[in-house]
Amino acid sequence: MKRVVLFGYRGTGKTAIGTVLARRLGVPFIDTDALIEQKAGRTIPAIFRDDGEERFRALERDAIAGLPASDVVIGTGGGVVMDPANMEQLRAHSSCVLLTADPATIGHRLAQAPRPALTGLPPKKEIAEMLERRRPAYAAAADFCVNTSRTTNEAAAARILGLLEHGTIPAPAREAAFRWFAATPLLAPERERLGELLTGPGHDPQTRFLGVAGWPCGHSRSPLLFNRLFLEYQLNCHYTRFEAPAVGPIMETARLIDAKGLSVTIPFKQDVMACLDEIDDAAREIGAVNTVVFACGTAYGWNTDWLGIKKPLAGHAGSRAVLLGAGGVAAAAAYALTDLGMEVTILNRTPEKARALAERSGCRWGAWDDFDRMNPDLIVNATPIGMQPDTHSPLRDDQLKKEMTVFDLVYTPPVTPLIAAARKAGCTTITGTEVFIHQAREQFRLFFGIDVPDTVIREILA
């Protein structure tokens, strides 16, 4: 059988429930904290006291790297989710279950079996602080969730066994979801593969679903990238396209099949925010979400676009920049450019939209024609102009000067009309593929807690 890995904060019952679960499955149970103590010949509190947390984390990584690959139940330490190297090891060919409990229950359990403090805070504040700090990592670790606040160890183990056998998607929901997908523009091979995974004979109830949400999104390279990454990291997941003219039905279908996550693209990055339970501070300030993570009944919204834009511009801090566009992608770009300390002017064909974004972002603004009076160091195109099948450039060839850097956030095609014209003019160019690579890397970490090297993504996209 695939190994079962239990994640969760201290006091959620990983050891007690894991022991019962392993007995019922007829396989060994391994507690990684106990394994570390056995190998080190010291207790974890002693390791922390004598050598510090960094040494403990190194021992933890070594112990996890040597765990059996199958036929075992594993209970992990509460902070294991914070290390991408651990998540890469633990998620491979595993069923991952997040155990949760309310803070009051955790506090009561920890009081019965005191453990070393993780911070200098009082116990209640420490629990709240650590749960908040680790929340994204716990969401990334969860294929299935079990709340242990009001249950016995036996009942929790039985619940996990049921999830492993039946998953979380009832048969009627699978059939309804496939009917919805079949009515969308999915290409026949993608539709057939999705049908096999959702409703086909012998389908695996543990398979998790993700996808790109947009209208249109047939051009997206995300399905290619993520499905290849699932093979690379041995994840039982499938990535498809949620392509519809409104975001509401997309979110309803995603919840129907208990989706693990969504990559959100045009035109839903702002609309999707109304469908979410919690939104990251950066995404809220930007006013756009491009990444949705579903975990334990909660939909979390993030924005990784701004990180994908910032990374390729690391050497351009302080530049004078013109940002073309005022939509959701432009908002992420404005956030990234101002974070780099640039002087930013936003131009849009509808000046009122440029003004609204500029006032929100602390930038200057103007009408599209104002570009001719400017001499920026950097031009960032955050409009969809040039995206296939469009063959236009947002700027005239004579507006491009060789001393400029031109960054086109459109990535299909890889060389857009703007990039082609900029290269002809002798400009330094950055293609939208760079944004795609870096924002997808951040998305994968939010989805699964794994940090994928840039080189792996580049090889897949080559």
Q: Find, among 308, 306, 288, the residue nearest to 344 by Cα.
A: 306
Report phi then psi at 365, rounded to 5: -150, 165
Residue with tokens 């112990």: 63
Give the pairing type, strands 144-147 and 29-31. Answer: unpaired
Distance of CA 151 to the CA centre of its chain: 31
Q: Look at strands 343-348 and 320-324 and give their pairing.
A: parallel
172 by Cβ neighbours in 10 Å (0-12 / 13-18 / 19+) ranks as exposed
Helix, strand or coil, per DSSP, at residue 6 = strand
Token duo for residue 365 = 């603004």
Rg (CA), the chain: 24
| Beta strand extents in 128-236 (DSSP E only) | 144-147, 208-214
Q: What is the DSSP string of 26-38?
A: TS-EEEHHHHHHH
**401 in catalytic set:** no
- For residue 47, the tally of other CB atoms under 10 A from its CB is 19
Alpha-carbon span 148 to 446, nearest angstrom: 24
Report the number of secondary-structure helices (H) and strands (E) in the chain.
19, 17
Among candidate residues 269, 310, 353, 401, the one labeled active-site is: 269
Q: How far apart are CA 83 and CA 147, in angstroms?
A: 23
Q: Mapping DSSP to helix (H, G, I), strand (E, B) and coil, where does residue 66 land?
A: coil
* Residue 304, both tokens: 């990784």
Catalytic residues: 269
